[in-house]
């Protein structure tokens, strides 16, 4: 669960989807159709970015969280060369998330049992306090009666 607690969701502005890299490669070959397609994709990307934010994690932070907690997480794809990018496989988050929910559920159930035990103890403590109050009041009445009979 420590690994999950260290993750920090981010709102990410995506302007160029990764598949534009492929079109850029085609454009280098002076393909006019690819150039037009690239311009249209850029415009769509900018329009979407103006109104939408994607939510996700920063792969380097996920890697650091896994390293810090000693969790062997398979969901980070490290760059294979100096031009490659980090990547995340979000499906690999399912198992640690399920485990974290299970651990939290155990904690919740333990706390619920403690709350129920504390609730059950309240009437017992109230009863004990009532007995003490009644004894004190009786002592006070007895002391008052002795004082009035002594006079």
pLDDT digits (tens, 9 = 90+) for 100-125: 999 999 999 999 999 999 999 999 99
- Give the pLDDT of residue 127: 92
* Confidence class for position 27, pLDDT limits 50, 70, 90: low
Residue scoring higher pLDDT (110 or 40): 110
Task: Name the CA radius of gyration of the chain, rounded.
Answer: 34
Q: What is the pLDDT of residues 4-26, one digit of tens each?
A: 888 888 877 655 555 555 555 55
Residues 126 and 52 in one domain: no
Pairing of strands 87-88, 76-77: antiparallel
Would you say residue 134 has pLDDT above 60?
yes
**Confidence band, pLDDT 50/70/90 cuts, at residue 51:** low
Q: Are residues 50 and 76 in the same domain?
A: yes
The domain tally of the chain equals: 2
The DSSP element (H or E) to which 87 belongs, if any, is: strand 87-88
Angle CA 16–93–97, to nearest 5: 135
Together in a domain, 84 and 101: no
Note whether 9 and 68 are same-domain residues: yes
Segment among 2-11, 94-103, 127-136 with least mean pLDDT: 2-11
- Whole-number Cα distances in Å, 60 to 5, 23, 44, 135: 16, 26, 28, 69
d(CA 77, CA 69): 18
Same domain for 72 and 32:
yes
Same domain, 64 and 8: yes
Q: How far apart are CA 23 and CA 34, in angstroms?
A: 6
Collapsed DSSP state (helix, strand, coil) of residue 133:
helix
User: Is the pLDDT score of 53 beyond 60?
Assistant: yes
Out of 88, 112, 129, pick the residue that ends a domain: 88
Over 70: is that where the pLDDT of 70 sits? yes
**Residue ranges of the alpha helices (H) in 7-93?**
20-28, 32-51, 59-69
Q: Which of 39-43, 53-57, 115-119 has the lowest mean pLDDT?
A: 39-43
Residue 67 domain boundaries: 2-88
Please tell me whether residues 99 and 81 are part of one structural domain. Answer: no
For residue 34, the model assigns a pLDDT of 63
């Amino acid at each position: 669960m420590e690994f999950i607690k260290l993750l920090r969701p981010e709102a990410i502005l995506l302007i160029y989807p990764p598949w534009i890299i492929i079109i850029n490669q085609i454009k280098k070959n002076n393909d006019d159709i690819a150039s037009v397609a690239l311009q249209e994709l850029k415009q769509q990307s900018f329009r979407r970015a103006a109104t939408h934010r994607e939510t996700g994690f920063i792969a380097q932070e996920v890697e650091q969280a896994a390293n810090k907690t000693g969790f062997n997480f398979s969901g980070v794809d490290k760059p294979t060369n100096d031009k490659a990018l980090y990547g995340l496989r979000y499906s690999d988050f399912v198992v640690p998330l399920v485990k974290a929910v299970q651990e939290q559920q155990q904690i919740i159930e333990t706390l619920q049992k403690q709350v129920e035990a504390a609730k059950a103890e309240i009437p017992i403590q109230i009863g004990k306090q009532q007995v003490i109050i009644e004894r004190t009041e009786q002592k006070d009445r007895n002391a008052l009666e002795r004082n009035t009979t002594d006079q």
